[in-house]
Structure 1
């Protein structure tokens, strides 16, 4: 029939009927026959199993046609200090940012929006935080990443919570979540365990203008996290620079010989200088040690020659001392034998024993006295 329109509305649908752009009716499931002689009617179909109702005039529809919409549609208009947790049939499905406006069809699912005021308390409750971060790959997990700043503080660490660039609190080991809305959240983690710092390849001139390359190793720990957080931008860079300066001061005011004679002096002076300064910034220097002192190639060759000459001189001195001692011993022995013919005779027999010990075969004529006369010429009379 001319001018007659038939609209079928499924059980899972609602239809907004507009006449000349004015909402006139919410069509319920069923068949509707409507006369539209002048072509003034417009219809918008909605699947209410997808609860969110989107319309470019959403706020106006709620304000102007609340009575017409009745209990078919519920709306939520959040303030700038509020967020909304949206639940469909008891299941968290979305998080609404401050100043959000949403409309939902209320007949297909049970709609609940929990409104939270984050003007003062911006910490995510533990139970909610666990729900948001444990189901990776889900829609709500992605929503949580966009809405919540999540951080894990491991054992032996301290977290520094900064809000809008200002340090608010220190966080003990654990899991934390903060709403990202209306503020800039940042958490820096500090490792409070013993840490190593390597200061390598430092080219430094000694007092006598010898270029040395020094490698230093140090260990330290954080003892006052608040000082470290407020006074230092990067504590490891701070320590590295201080060790560099201390090394240059210690090495630059000493000669090469002084450094090589007492290598520990570098460790002791550097450690003493750095410890007090580091403690003022919340750091404890536990140990400092020079790993390597590397000389230039030509200087290394010269020093090797010096060491070689020193060792050769020491060896010659020891040899001369031994020769002197041997000569003195022989002299003393000779003086003793000179006044003691019996001892002299025993010494002769000892020498004779050594000589005959090297002879494989010997024929003796005249007995022992013949041997003594033929092989050994005595300077005095034999003892009776």
Structure 2
């Protein structure tokens, strides 16, 4: 046989079940060989393709489709998408590839069977839930955007810079399709915002720092996101400016005397400004007033002096009351000798309780006559 091949200028090639081969004769496409043994000219060029990779990739692809259409359709399947279309390709019932708009794919027909599901993007960018679940399980999410929105949040979806949809809680999927999709999540719960170390100059030109806190929540997420670049930063500025204006009109003594009045005075301006941005502001609190070191020392001295003066007044008042009480007692004793004698006995009892032994020189009769006898 080999001698016959040499004499006839032929050669034998074998193509396996998992292969296909393109025969080039004199530089032109001649045939596509399936599985089996084939005889070709010795000078023919053979281009082998493994069906393990079902996508037909070859520099001969365009020439084959243009000049040998019948031969190509006998072995290849073409998948093509329009500008506003996405195609989901399945191979033997399993997801194989997602084609973006204006994309063409050539597949070996024998590597199938093939099926295609086409999605018209003019109907919207949302991905069918069942199809989206299949693509997610197959980890084929490159052609879509997956958005997960928590229970207390909403999400604003911008497509090519324009607001397209407000997404509620749940999982949402959208075809990217060559577009830029940006999602901004907004928390609708009550939150606290702190303004720390805000410097203020009071009316009497005392420089101090204050710490503020405000409770807020977003009631209109579209306005909150689109009206300003950052609504929390806007709240921060509004709190700072309102309290700077309010506290700057007060003296230090007035500020320290009633902080709650200052809170109520500045709150309305902040609430009105933030309501225009779709943000509801609740309680606003002036938490701390921090004085500079020198002023703190001065105020500490003033407070110490005031307390010392108050203590001195109280001490003098108590001394006066004690003196008045002694005077009254003396008057009672002068007018009533019995009371005087009772006082003497009390003093004697107090003395006797503090010593171990008490000696009375005048005897019992003298003690009773001199101390106990209650008469003039």
1:253-268 equivalences under 5 Å are 253-268=249-264
Q: 1:11 to 1:371 in 2, by over 3 A?
A: same
- 1:280-302: CA deviation from partner (whole Å, max 9, x where unpaired): 22222233323332211121111
Pick one of 14, 39, 55 that aligns with 2:20.
14
Q: Which residue of 2 aligns with 1:25?
A: 31
2:283 corresponds to 1:287: yes
Cα separation, 2, equivalents of 1:117 and 1:263: 63
DSSP-derived class of the 2:68 partner = helix
Q: Which residue of 1 aligns with 2:265?
A: 269
Post-superposition offset of 1:30? 2.7
2:128 corresponds to 1:125: yes
DSSP-derived class of the 1:254 partner = coil
- 1:50-96: CA deviation from partner (whole Å, max 9, x where unpaired): 22112345355335433233432111221111111111111112111
> Are 2:360 and 2:367, in contact at CA under 8 Å, matched by a contact in 1?
no
- 1:74-119: CA deviation from partner (whole Å, max 9, x where unpaired): 1122111111111111111211111111111112321112221113
Q: Which residue of 2 aligns with 1:81?
A: 84
Q: Which residue of 2 aligns with 1:50?
A: 53
Cα separation, 2, equivalents of 1:7 and 1:219: 85
Pick one of 368, 376, 382 that aligns with 2:375.
382
Cα separation, 1, equivalents of 2:65 and 2:179: 31
Q: Which residue of 1 aligns with 2:3?
A: none
2:370 corresponds to 1:365: no
Cα separation, 2, equivalents of 1:221 and 1:26: 69
- 1:348-368: CA deviation from partner (whole Å, max 9, x where unpaired): 544454455555412141646
2:305 corresponds to 1:309: yes
Cα separation, 2, equivalents of 1:341 and 1:70: 142
DSSP-derived class of the 1:218 partner = strand
DSSP-derived class of the 1:320 partner = helix
Q: Which residue of 1 aligns with 2:115?
A: 112
Q: 1:165 to 1:332 in 2, by over 3 A?
A: same
Post-superposition offset of 1:167? 1.7
DSSP-derived class of the 1:16 partner = strand
DSSP-derived class of the 2:232 partner = helix
Deviates more, 1:281-290 or 1:161-170: 281-290
1:89-238 equivalences under 5 Å are 89-134=92-137, 140-141=138-139, 143-144=140-141, 146-238=142-234
Cα separation, 2, equivalents of 1:68 and 1:199: 75
Deviates more, 1:356-365 or 1:241-250: 356-365
DSSP-derived class of the 2:360 partner = coil
Q: 1:102 to 1:366 in 2, by over 3 A?
A: closer
How many residues align? The count is: 369
Which consecutive unaligned segments of at least 5 residues does structure 2 have?
1-5
- 1:210-243: CA deviation from partner (whole Å, max 9, x where unpaired): 2212222332222222221222321211111112
Q: TM-score, with normalisation over the residues of structure 1?
A: 0.86
Q: CA RMSD in A?
A: 2.8
Which consecutive unaligned segments of at least 5 residues does structure 1 have?
135-139
- 1:232-275: CA deviation from partner (whole Å, max 9, x where unpaired): 32121111111221222222221111111122233333333322
Q: 1:185 to 1:363 in 2, by over 3 A?
A: same
DSSP-derived class of the 1:241 partner = helix
DSSP-derived class of the 1:309 partner = helix
Q: 1:363 to 1:344 in 2, by over 3 A?
A: closer
> Are 2:95 and 2:135, in contact at CA under 8 Å, matched by a contact in 1?
no
> Are 1:337 and 1:343, in contact at CA under 8 Å, matched by a contact in 2?
yes
> Are 1:49 and 1:109, in contact at CA under 8 Å, matched by a contact in 2?
no
Q: 1:357 to 1:245 in 2, by over 3 A?
A: same
